[in-house]
Chain A
Amino acid sequence: MPEIVSTVLFLLVNGLIWGLIISLIALGLTLIFGVMGIVNMAHGDIYMAGAVLSFYVVTILGSFWLSLVLIPAIIILIAAPMERFVLRPYEGYHSSTMIATVGISFIIEQIALGTYGGIPKKIMNPWPMSFNFLGVDYPGYRVLIAGISILILIGLWVFLYKTSYGILVRASMQDREMASAMGIDVNKVLITTFVMGSVLAAVGGVLAAPINQVFYLMGNDVILLCFIVVIVGGLGSLKGTLIAALSLCSLEGMMASVLSPTQARAAIFVIMVIVLMRRPQGLFTE
């Protein structure tokens, strides 16, 4: 009996940690939607780009920790021009912008396929330590991921709710026209939000790289999970996204003990459909 309990606990903790990574990515998605009104279909590919770039940084420079610092910088350099020069012209036509992000997603995927190759590769564990946790050896790196993700989440909260620039972002999320009428430079906010959302996704990719295989299509699986998360939590609701990410991922993790991964994903999908029927705007939106 205790063995079963510890297995379930193990899976639960695994799911929660995966949920923390997913919540970073999904929060990026929700932020971008909240301010720009579009669903970024290329979000999963930015996550993949983070993981692939981290693979290169680890193999060339030999340090995983360096990649945690370097990759946000690289992503800022990619995402800012992408918003300004590629996406900005479509502003105002939501479906056009969403299809445009599908185009961007094709481009990123193919560039990764062309440069990185189509074979999944693994990054070595950057922190080979393990904790004894209820009789099970628990890999230390996963605990570390949880710590880093929580730190980033706290940082995001402080930025959005405690700084004056965060107020500008939240004001634009509530009512962009009004925000612009009050003299907020909405264009600047747009770039900041898009960059911030992309950096969140890429950092998620960096953190997930050592526990997942790095593959040029790895973003597709994650974007699906993120979509389900934002639908359940409510698109544009930061609190809802966080809660939905943690609960859905731990639920999926636990279900994986009895079901196959696809069945577990289908079960999560059924939950989403039920939520959609009862509350089409998500569980946590006012």
Chain B
Amino acid sequence: MNMLIEKGTEKGSTVTYFAIVFLLLLLVLGMVLPKGARSLVIQMMIFSVLAMGYDLSLGFTNQCSLGHSVFFGAGAYGAIFSIMYLKVGLLPSLFFSFAAGFFLAVITGLISVRLSEAYFVIVTAIFFAIFHLLAMDLTWLTGGDDGLSIQLPALSLGFGKLSLYNPLVNYYFVLAFLALSYLVLNRIVKSPLGKIFISIRENQKRIQFLGYNVYRYKLIAFILSGMFSGLSGGLYALTLRYGSADFFSFHWSIMPVVWCLIGGLGTLAGPWIGAVIMSLFQYYVSAWWTYYLILFGIIILLILRISRKGIMGYIMGRRLA
């Protein structure tokens, strides 16, 4: 038992070191990167928030959801609508995207979380499809395929005003939220609540026999996951200053799965590696070959074939061996 705990803490620390190094690297990179590469890194950081949120669902409680594009899109539109109609500032608008993710995750979670594995996948996939259909159809509200553009208000901090139109400000704004999300999620995962999540993943039946309400804890994980996906959607909309029905598309449901699988399920910071690799892959390969999604499908099949632990899991396995 003692061995297990020791192993557990060491496992945790590898990821924590990695996360700290990664964040510090990003802090430095922001100043030296050229403009094009910087905007790519901004996207990677936003995707990392989504990947962490998704990891809470698939990596920690083994809920394989295909409906996270709903939360991502809702978060984006939460930010856009609050700026357009309520004229709120930047930080409150992100609060609205958080809230939109929370609201939709509660609704969809109450319906889908108690279902069995296969039903859960199907029902979340149906949620994605219906919300995508509605977003495409309700053009008066969402702008449909063309989308809605917004004018960003200035970010007012205590000492002055900053504009997100400045790419450097944008970079550090997103980085701050990545670090903040990591801190919050890491705290949750290390807390007793996180231990319950992990034990649900490892053996759901046993944890039920121990008297825990599995449904409630799975729902909590699902809602937290939806909230951070919403936040990521909000950040994406603010960075692009734009949102469209495309934010509800299947792309945003399947990408988090791939990021988490590549980076390492249940490691929180591991999926960052997945987000970086897949963003680079998409950036370079999609320019080179129109049908690059074939390679994407093959990559999915290969990762699942090689290992379910991902890169981070592999590194940690090496250190323990």
Contact = CB atoms under 8 A, between A and B. Distances in A.
A110 B293 CA distance: 7
B121 A86 contact: no
A275 to B, nearest CB: 11
Given A99-B64, A230-B122, A280-B119, A265 B130 contact: yes
Interface stretch (A8-16, A31-39, A184-192): A31-39
Nearest to B292: A110
Contacts, number: 105
B305 A89 contact: yes
B213 to A, nearest CB: 17
A266 B130 contact: yes
A98 B64 contact: yes
B188 interface: no
Contact of A106 (B134, B137, B257, B296): B296
Contacts of A37: 118
Contacts of B293: 106-107, 109-110
Interface stretch (A72-80, A125-133, A220-228): A220-228
Interface string A82-117: 000010011001111011101111110111011000
Nearest to B108: A273
Nearest to B130: A269
Interface residues of A, number: 43
B237 to A, nearest CB: 24
A46 to B, nearest CB: 14
B62 interface: yes
Given A89-B305, A104-B297, A235 B64 contact: no
Given A106-B294, A110-B291, A235-B119, A99 B300 contact: yes
Nearest to A29: B122
Interface centre among B254, B301, B304 (most CB of A within 10 A): B301
A277 interface: yes
Contacts of B64: 95, 98-99
A231 B126 contact: yes
Contacts of A95: 58, 62, 64, 117, 121
Interface centre among B121, B134, B297, B299 (most CB of A within 10 A): B297
B37 interface: no
5 contacts: A89-B305, A96-B304, A107-B294, A107-B298, A260-B137
Interface of A: 33, 37-39, 41, 86, 89-90, 93-96, 98-100, 102-107, 109-111, 113-114, 220, 224, 227-228, 230-231, 235, 260, 262, 265-266, 269, 272-273, 276-277, 280
Given A95-B117, A266-B130, A280-B115, 12 more contacts: A38-B118, A90-B304, A95-B58, A95-B121, A98-B121, A99-B64, A106-B296, A107-B298, A111-B291, A227-B129, A272-B126, A276-B115
